[in-house]
C-alpha cells in the first residue's frame, strides 16, 4: 500500500514538473495583461508582446499533451520544467521593472512591446541584416577553419615547420583580430572582403592551435604501427593524426566561432552597409534602444542556431566519444 502511495506521489510530481513551463507562460501573460504599462513608455501600435505570449503558450501546452505519449518529451519536461519556470519568472521581473514600473530610464530600457515591434514593423530590414551577417560569417568561418586546419596539420605533424613557423604564430596569433581593422580596411578594395578577412583571422588562430596540439598529443605508438604496416605520410596524417585530433579540432572551431561573432559585430560597425552589427550601431546612434535590444536578440538567436548545428555535427562525427568527454 505504501509503495503504491509513493508511486502515485511520484507520478503527481512528474506531471506537475511537466506543467511548469506552461504555468510560467500563463503567469507571464497574466502580468502583461492585468498590470498596465507605465505611461512614460511609448505605446506600441499593437500588443505585440501579448500576441507573442499567446502564440508561445501553444508550445508548452502541446508538449504537455505529447508527454503522455512520448517518453523523451516527458523526460525533457521533467528535467527542464523547473528551469523554464525560473526563466519565465526572470522575464516577468524584467517586465515589471522596465515596462510596468519604469524604475529604469525609459529611453535605455524600452518595453517588450516596443522591442518586438522592431521585428514586425521592420522585418524586411531585419532579414536583410541577418542575411548579410550570415553571408559574412559563413565566408569568414570557412576560410578561417580551412587555413587553421592546414596550418595546424603542418605544425603538428612536421617538426621542421613547427621550428620555423611557430615563433611567428606565437607573435601574431594572440593579437585580437579586431586590432587589424584600420590596416585591413585600407588594404582591401571592399569592406566585405576586409570583414571576411578579419573574421577568418579570428577563427584561424584557435583552430590551428588546437589542431596542432591535438596532433602533437597523439600517441607516437599509432604512427609507429602505421609506418610498420607501410603507411605513407598522407595516410598517417588523414587516417591517424586527424581522426585522433578531432576532439581538439572541434574545440578550436567552437572557440573560433565565438571569436568570429566578436569580429563580425566589430567589423560591421566600420563601413558596412548592412548586418546585425551595423544595425545595432545605427540604432544606438539614432537613440532607438528598442532596435539595439532587437539586434542583441538577433545575435543571441543567430549564435544559438550555429552552435547547435555544430554540436549536431560533432555528435555525429564523434559518436565513439559519447560518455567519455563532456561538453
Of the candidate ranges 20-34, 268-282, 309-323, the one whose mean pLDDT is the lowest: 309-323
Q: What percent of the chain has pLDDT over 90?
A: 33
pLDDT over threshold 80, residue 11: no
Q: Backbone phi, then psi, for 121, in 5-degree steps? A: -85, -20
Residue 172's pLDDT is 85
**Do 93 and 23 touch, CB atoms closer than 8 A?**
no
pLDDT over threshold 80, residue 10: no
Residue 6's pLDDT is 58
Cα–Cα distances in angstroms (integers) from residue 146 to residues 151, 156, 208, 211, in the given order? 9, 15, 9, 11
Residue 318's pLDDT is 73
Q: pLDDT-based confidence at 84, cuts 50/70/90?
A: very high
Q: pLDDT-based confidence at 322, cuts 50/70/90?
A: low
- Cite the beta strand spans of the chain per DSSP E: none
- Whole-angstrom distance, CA of residue 307 vs CA of residue 318: 16
The predicted-structure confidence for 185-222, as pLDDT tens digits, reads as follows 788 888 888 888 999 999 999 999 999 988 888 877 77
pLDDT over threshold 80, residue 1: no
Domain with residues 123-321, CATH architecture = Orthogonal Bundle (1.10)
Residue 21's pLDDT is 92
- Kindly list the domain boundaries of the chain, sorted by start residue: 2-121, 123-321
Q: What's this model's pTM, rounded to 2 decimal places?
A: 0.82
Burial group, residue 219, by CB count within 10 angstroms (0-12, 13-18, 19+): exposed
The predicted-structure confidence for 85-126, as pLDDT tens digits, reads as follows 999 999 999 999 999 999 999 889 999 999 999 999 988 998
Q: What mean pLDDT is reported for the chain?
A: 86
pLDDT over threshold 70, residue 69: yes
Of the candidate ranges 84-98, 149-163, 265-279, the one whose mean pLDDT is the lowest: 265-279
Residue 5's pLDDT is 56
The predicted-structure confidence for 127-148, as pLDDT tens digits, reads as follows 998 898 888 889 999 999 999 9
Residue 9's pLDDT is 67
Q: pLDDT-based confidence at 78, cuts 50/70/90?
A: confident
Amino acid at each position: 500500500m505504501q509503495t503504491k502511495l509513493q508511486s502515485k506521489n511520484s507520478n503527481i510530481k512528474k506531471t506537475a514538473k511537466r506543467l511548469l513551463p506552461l504555468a510560467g507562460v500563463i503567469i507571464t501573460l497574466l502580468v502583461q495583461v492585468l498590470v498596465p504599462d507605465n505611461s512614460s513608455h511609448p505605446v506600441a501600435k499593437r500588443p505585440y508582446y501579448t500576441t507573442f505570449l499567446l502564440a508561445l503558450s501553444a508550445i508548452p501546452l502541446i508538449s504537455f499533451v505529447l508527454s503522455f505519449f512520448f517518453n523523451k518529451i516527458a523526460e525533457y519536461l521533467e528535467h527542464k520544467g523547473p528551469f523554464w519556470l525560473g526563466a519565465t519568472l526572470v522575464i516577468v521581473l524584467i517586465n515589471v521593472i522596465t515596462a510596468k514600473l519604469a524604475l529604469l530610464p525609459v529611453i535605455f530600457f524600452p518595453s517588450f512591446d516596443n522591442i518586438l515591434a522592431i521585428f514586425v514593423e521592420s522585418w524586411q530590414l531585419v532579414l536583410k541584416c541577418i542575411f548579410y551577417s550570415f553571408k559574412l560569417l559563413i565566408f569568414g568561418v570557412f576560410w578561417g577553419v580551412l587555413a587553421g586546419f592546414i596550418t595546424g596539420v603542418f605544425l603538428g605533424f612536421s617538426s621542421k615547420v613547427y621550428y620555423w613557423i611557430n615563433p611567428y604564430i606565437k607573435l601574431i596569433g594572440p593579437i585580437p583580430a579586431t586590432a587589424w581593422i584600420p590596416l585591413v580596411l585600407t588594404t582591401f578594395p571592399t569592406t566585405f572582403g576586409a570583414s571576411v578577412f578579419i573574421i577568418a583571422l579570428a577563427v584561424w588562430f584557435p583552430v590551428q592551435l588546437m589542431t596542432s596540439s591535438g596532433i602533437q598529443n597523439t600517441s607516437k605508438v599509432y604512427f609507429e604501427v602505421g609506418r610498420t604496416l607501410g603507411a605513407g605520410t598522407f595516410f598517417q596524417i588523414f587516417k591517424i593524426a586527424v581522426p585522433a585530433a578531432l576532439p581538439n579540432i572541434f574545440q578550436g572551431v567552437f572557440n573560433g566561432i565565438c571569436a568570429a561573432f566578436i569580429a563580425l559585430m566589430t567589423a560591421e560597425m566600420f563601413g558596412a552597409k548592412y548586418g546585425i552589427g551595423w544595425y545595432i550601431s545605427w540604432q544606438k546612434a539614432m537613440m532607438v534602444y528598442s532596435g539595439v535590444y532587437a539586434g542583441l536578440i538577433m545575435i543571441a538567436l543567430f549564435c544559438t542556431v550555429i552552435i547547435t548545428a555544430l554540436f549536431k555535427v560533432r555528435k555525429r562525427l564523434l559518436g565513439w566519444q559519447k560518455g567519455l568527454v563532456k561538453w
